[in-house]
Amino acid sequence: MCGIAGKLYFDRERHVSEAEIQTMTDAIAHRGPDGEAVWVDGNVGLGHRRLAIIDLRAIAAQPMANEDGSIWVTFNGEIYNFQELRAELEARGHRFRTESDTEAIVHAWEEYGRACVERLRGMFAFAIWDGPRRTLFLARDRVGKKPLFYFAGRDRFVFASEIKAILTDSDVPIRPDPIALDHYLALQYVPSPQTAFGGIRKLPAAHWMEVRDGGRIEIGRYWWLRYEPKRRLSLPDAVAELRWRIAEAVRLRLMSDVPLGAFLSGGVDSSAVVAHMAVAMERPVRTFSVGFEEASLDERPFARMIADRYATDHTELVVKPSVVDILPRLVWHYDEPFGDSSAVPSYAIAELTRRHVTVVLNGDGGDENFAGYHRYVANRRAHRGDVIPLGLRRRAAALIGRLPASIRQRQPWRKLASVSEAMAQIPERRYARWISHLSPSERKELYSASFAEAVEGSDPEQLFVEAFALSDAKDWTDATLETDVSLYLADDLLVKMDRATMAHSLEARSPFLDHVLMEFVATLPATFKLAGAEKKWILRAALRGVVPDAILDRPKMGFGAPISSWFRHELREMAQDLLLSPRALQRGYFRPEVVARMLNEHVHGQADRADDLWDLLVLEVWHRTFIDDAVRARIPEGPLASGV
């Protein structure tokens, strides 16, 4: 795993300096502490920070060129089929100097052009400079494991693994994007291709981009997760094939010249990964678990079941973070407002794990492949309510919406308002409401008149309408899974894992996100995944005898943080100081009385507003870190509450 960066001036007479690229790579040094290099040639420059995993010799250093030095690549990720790809390319006359997967990408570009990405099995974000064609080619892996950001200005194109590297260019403006912030407050993340910074964009997952040195830019998509046609397999045959496909996906991800281990939550997905690792490895698996003192959030007893069964070398961590101190660092590493509070334990377990290994496998993707969330059951049941005329459902929602805010924001009225508002929508928008945080009505109540005007026309729910429309799935559950893969997985879960692990120079690998495995699961009947109210039905069937029944049959626990308690104790003073500070109020985003009421209701136990308050607090810390103080590369120091 690594960090990449680069720049292209559209005017060939303007040269990129080594210092420009070096400054960019210095900003993301945490992504690659084992090596650094810069290559410049006239109006183009590429940079690289290396975390050495495979072929540890210096000969594999990047940026890397083809035989004659006309094509250069800077690459972040792992290609698990590179040996097969290398053999194919050697048979076509290409010559290799290293044993790295990076070199296979260079020659694949020479041989296949844009189609090279279709032959890669793994996680990746890379940029190739093709000198003869005067073209910069960039691409991201199919599900978005590896990040890639860019700024396309009037006279330049700048890209990097993290936004902070782009911000080192003093000609890149630093300003918030109000529409992106509205999307963040609805979803807790900023969806692709937006970023929270005006003018800076994400290259979406499964996309490539070509930039000519004259400034012409073209973007295309190269992969879709297809759910049709369905495979004609009996249940026993489907279970058998699923077993060996999971085993293969795990085995491929054991490729490493450095120590590796696994995150073990005690859930079905991570337990399955550890079980297959234990069978495939000669040494005991190094496993790592995190928990809280709050029993409702602590899965360590279940993790120990797997650790004991497979005799792993197990390490546990009880998270007692000084969240006041850790929050500024989290915000700096994530670059954008990121409201998923499970980033806190993810950051903590990554820090612990890196002390022992350099590569870690995890269970990400299991829920989105096999329908593992409670909401899939609830959402399907909600379809039964569609027999009630839409107009009648909307009138009921309107009546509840007219209740005074002081009543509507309390339980159970808040839940009833949320359900009625969702049922008053078409199915696609209903699902968006189902998984949203601040609803349209709640955001309307929160926003100041000026901010409401700035985000007029913003419609986060439309992203879901479009995602459902693009799916080829005939079954509603399958279409919902694909929507979650393209939105929630790509822009929330994988962002969380990438930043948390790379903050500590730790590489994370996800067997359930192997695209070959995903394609197989997608074409299984939806009833194999969600059977009545039983989630992950075929996965549980495939794991019987491999994972203890006590784990397979227990209710799902969310991987979260005790933020409700934090806002009544550790974060109470910080939240009051920052969210109601003159600096925050002068920003003019929110109505002060609404923010004050949210804080008061939560502190006094009248309503649980922890998720909403966390979103607001993260946004305020982000604003102070990146916008107010125009931080371009350094980690913020000192108490955030100073100069409130």
Q: Evaluate whether residue 318 is within a structural domain.
A: no
Q: Evaluate whether residue 443 is within a structural domain.
A: yes
- Domain-ending residue, one of 456, 473, 490: 473
Q: Evaluate whether residue 56 is within a structural domain.
A: yes
pLDDT in tens, 233-249: 999 999 999 999 999 99
Residue 5's nearest CA partner among 32, 145, 189 is 32
pLDDT at position 420 is 75
pLDDT in tens, 130-153: 999 999 999 999 999 999 999 999
CA 510, 512, 513, 514: dihedral to nearest 10 degrees? 100
- Domain-ending residue, one of 473, 492, 524: 473
Q: Evaluate whether residue 528 is within a structural domain.
A: no
pLDDT in tens, 516-543: 999 999 999 999 999 999 999 999 999 9
3-state secondary structure of 207: strand
Residue 72's nearest CA partner among 91, 47, 49 is 47
Q: Evaluate whether residue 87 is within a structural domain.
A: yes
pLDDT at position 322 is 79
The structure tokens 């109020």 sit at: 585
- Domain-ending residue, one of 452, 473, 494: 473
Positive or negative: CA dihedral 448, 455, 158, 96 = positive
Q: How confident is the model at residue 174 (pLDDT cuts 50, 70, 90)?
A: very high
Count of CB atoms situated within 10 Å of the CB of 118: 12
The structure tokens 């032959």 sit at: 119
pLDDT in tens, 268-322: 999 999 999 999 999 999 999 987 777 666 788 899 999 999 999 999 988 776 7
Instruction: Give the mean pLDDT of 97-102.
Output: 90
Residue 414's nearest CA partner among 607, 257, 127, 629 is 607
pLDDT in tens, 597-642: 999 999 999 999 999 999 999 999 999 999 987 655 455 554 454 4
Flag whether pLDDT at 36 surpasses 80.
Answer: yes
pLDDT at position 409 is 67
Burial string for 573-585 (b: 16+ CB within 10 Å, else e) reads ebbbebbebeebe
CA separation for the pair 64, 59 (Å, rounded): 9
CA separation for the pair 554, 358 (Å, rounded): 31
CA 389, 394, 396, 402: dihedral to nearest 10 degrees? -170
Flag whether pLDDT at 42 surpasses 90.
Answer: yes
Phi-psi region of 267 (alpha: psi -120 to 50; beta: other; left: phi over 0): beta
Instruction: Give the mean pLDDT of 199-213.
Output: 97
Burial of 453 (0-12, 13-18, 19+ CB in 10 A): exposed
Q: Evaluate whether residue 37 is within a structural domain.
A: yes
Q: Evaluate whether residue 550 is within a structural domain.
A: no
Lowest mean pLDDT among 79-83, 187-191, 265-269, 321-325: 321-325
pLDDT at position 638 is 47
How many domains does one find in the chain? 2
Which residue did the predictor score with more confidence, 505 or 629?
A: 505
Residues 509 and 361: beta-carbon distance below 8 Å: yes
Instruction: Give the mean pLDDT of 38-45.
Output: 98
Residues 79 and 121: beta-carbon distance below 8 Å: yes
Contacts of 293 (CB under 8 A, 6+ apart): 318, 320
Q: Token digits for 583?
A: 């600096």
The domain that holds 85 is classified in CATH as 3.60.20.10
Residues 310 and 278: beta-carbon distance below 8 Å: yes
pLDDT at position 320 is 72
Lowest mean pLDDT among 27-41, 370-384, 466-480, 542-556: 370-384
pLDDT at position 635 is 55
Phi and psi of 372, rounded to 5°?
Answer: -100, -5
Instruction: Give the mean pLDDT of 400-408.
Output: 72
Q: Domain residues for 465?
A: 375-473
pLDDT at position 643 is 44
Does this model's pTM top 0.85? My answer is: yes
The structure tokens 């210092």 sit at: 19
The structure tokens 């496993």 sit at: 287
